[in-house]
Amino acid sequence: MSKKVLVISSSLRKNANSEQLAVAFADGARSAGHEAEVISLRDKEIKFCIGCFACQKTKRCFMHDDADAIREKMLNADVLVFATPIYYYEMSGALKTMLDRANPLYPSDYKFRKVYALATAAENEEYVPQKAFSGIEGWVDCFEKAELAGTLFCGGVNDAGEINGNFILKQAFAMGKGI
């Protein structure tokens, strides 16, 4: 059965390593017959959540910016994929801001059941993505019908495009193909 896959790339840098992971995942999903869309937060205007929680009653945010359309796509996706560079051992600020602004999804009849997290960093140690993945898992844990279905980390890549030719891109493709 074909699934609707939404991949959110949160690096603000062009030719970002994490975005290349995102694209490889989406390509893999498409190769398996799924519909996959990659959205980059690079040129999006997304204001900070102010924590008013009005969205818990209205199922929408009172602020209107690019988060509205992204959140709507998140609501209707079967699979969500978050791709982030690691900054100071955490997810990017852009991704955290988008996840906060996705708060109206909590009381909604969201469709996603599987969530994946992809990350890249300059450092290569095994512990490097733990806090970023933990933050994403914390978000997923708030959605009873969803689960963090997989993570993929590529360390040792710093400069834009440095991930080119790395075997991890094949792993991201295979992960996407396997959903």
Give the model confidence (pLDDT) of 69-94 as tens digits.
999 999 999 999 999 999 999 999 99
Please state whether the predicted TM-score (pTM) of the whole model is above 0.95: yes
Q: Is the pLDDT of residue 144 over 90?
A: yes
Backbone angles phi and psi of 7, in degrees to 5:
-110, 120
179 three-state secondary structure? coil
Could you tell me which of 74, 91, 104, 108 has the C-alpha nearest to residue 6? 74
Give the model confidence (pLDDT) of 36-78 as tens digits.
999 999 999 999 999 999 999 999 999 999 999 999 999 999 9
Report which DSSP code applies to 12.
Answer: -
pLDDT category, 1, cuts 50, 70, 90? confident
Q: Which domains does the chain have, with CATH numbers?
A: 4-177 (3.40.50.360)
Radius of gyration, CA atoms only, the chain? 15
